């Protein structure tokens, strides 16, 4: 009896190990229930989502899918505005040839509910002819809740690439975003999200984090030629981490942390060749406290490598920030203090700046 009990325990332990190992996969559900979509299968009276008779619209596949299913979308152009409100995997055959065209008629994909993986699409032309302001503003992907993973997608020619409004615990991975007003926009307390291995370029703002959006991580990303800021953290958004990123090109300021956004960390980043129309700074800290910039390389900046502080209504409001172990060279001025208090520069190297 004892041997039998030990065997049962060992089998149960092995089962738990097996379950744990599968959690690293991108897809969050099994593929036992697969719904197929193929844009070329038009006018099929037998369409039912099977491999032989796929739906020709993505929304039809989503509507037919039960929770836990995978909707597999074959290559093609899908002129749709899609809504997902269930827990599914929405998987395109490949991002280059599986295209969701919002056709200037609003959002590309709205994720309203459910634990969802979206992978393998190009999403384009997410605009709204009624205007840019809510409720008319259009997003290529619009997320309003948590537990969503967006991966291996291309977003182009859209007003906003990925929008998170009050949405937490999401992952944005291996995404290319080009030519948006804002590449990734988090607001209204969007917290604990991860943006990783993404390429954001040719936008006005690359990544825009605002209004109490805390504890987010941006890592291993390349951001360049975003005209205003590549990364902008404002309005009481704190404890965010920017790490192992490369930022360069024609932008006013590569990283802007301001307006009561405190305790953020920028580390192991390269900021180079900044040459914008108005400001041309590497990092700008304003009206914020206790932020840390460390182990960064900042060079070839047209104006200031790092700009710290200005007065707000005659009051010094930028203080307690730490610049540590950074190398700053070939700038007009390495670090410029307008007004600040108790900011610390330690173990940094400066050379070839017109003013160190």
Residue 20's pLDDT is 32
Using CA atoms in the order 200, 202, 207, 211, what is the torsion angle rounded to 10 degrees?
-160
Residue 212's pLDDT is 98
Asked if 148 contacts 118 with a C-beta cutoff of 8 angstroms, the reply is: yes
Residue 161's pLDDT is 98
pTM for this model (two decimals): 0.90
Cα gap 21→15, rounded to integer Å: 10
Cα gap 78→138, rounded to integer Å: 17
From the first residue on, what is the mean pLDDT of each consecutive set of 10 residues in the chain (356 residues)?
36 34 40 90 98 99 98 99 98 98 96 96 91 76 96 98 98 98 98 99 98 99 98 98 98 96 99 86 96 99 92 76 98 91 96 91
Q: What share of the chain is helix, strand, coil (3-state, %, to 5)?
A: 10, 45, 45
Cα gap 231→238, rounded to integer Å: 14
Residue 10's pLDDT is 34
Residue 306's pLDDT is 98
Domains and CATH numbers, the chain: 34-351 (2.160.20.10)
Residue 248's pLDDT is 98
Residue 27's pLDDT is 47
Residue 279's pLDDT is 72
Tokens standing for residue 253: 């300021």
The total number of residues shown for the chain amounts to 356
Residue 50's pLDDT is 98
Residue 294's pLDDT is 99
Using CA atoms in the order 49, 50, 54, 60, what is the torsion angle rounded to 10 degrees?
0
Residue 112's pLDDT is 92
Residue 23's pLDDT is 32
């Amino acid at each position: 009896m004892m041997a039998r009990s030990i065997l049962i325990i060992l089998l149960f332990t092995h089962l738990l190990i097996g379950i744990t190992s599968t959690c690293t996969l991108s897809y969050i559900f099994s593929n036992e229930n697969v719904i197929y979509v193929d844009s070329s299968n038009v006018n099929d009276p037998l369409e039912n989502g099977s491999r032989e008779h796929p739906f020709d619209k993505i929304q039809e596949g989503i509507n037919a899918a039960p929770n836990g299913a995978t909707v597999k979308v074959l290559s093609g152009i899908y002129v749709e505005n899609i809504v997902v409100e269930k827990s599914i995997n929405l998987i395109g055959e490949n991002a280059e040839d599986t295209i969701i065209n919002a056709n200037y008629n609003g959002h590309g994909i709205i994720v309203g509910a459910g634990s969802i993986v979206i992978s393998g699409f190009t999403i384009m032309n997410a605009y709204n002819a009624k205007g840019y302001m809510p409720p008319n503003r259009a997003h290529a992907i619009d997320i309003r809740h948590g537990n969503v993973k967006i991966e291996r997608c291309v977003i182009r020619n859209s007003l906003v690439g990925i929008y998170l409004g009050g949405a937490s615990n999401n992952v944005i991975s291996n995404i290319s975003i080009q030519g948006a007003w804002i590449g990734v926009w988090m607001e209204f307390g969007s917290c604990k999200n991860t943006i990783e291995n993404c390429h954001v370029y040719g936008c006005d703002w690359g990544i825009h984090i605002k209004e109490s959006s805390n504890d987010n991580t941006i890592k291993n990303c390349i951001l360049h030629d975003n005209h205003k800021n590549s990364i902008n953290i404002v309005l009481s958004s704190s404890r965010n981490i920017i790490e192992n990123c490369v930022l360069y090109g024609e932008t006013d300021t590569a990283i802007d942390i301001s307006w009561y956004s405190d305790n953020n960390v920028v580390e192991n980043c390269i900021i180079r060749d900044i040459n914008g129309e108005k400001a041309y700074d590497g990092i700008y800290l304003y009206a914020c406290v206790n932020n840390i910039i460390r182990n960064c390389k900042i060079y070839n900046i047209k104006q200031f490598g790092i700009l710290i502080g200005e007065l707000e209504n005659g009051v010094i409001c930028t203080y307690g920030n730490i610049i540590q172990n950074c190398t700053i060279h070939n700038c007009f001025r390495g670090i410029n203090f307008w007004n600040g208090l108790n900011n610390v520069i330690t173990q940094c190297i400066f050379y070839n700046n017109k003013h160190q």
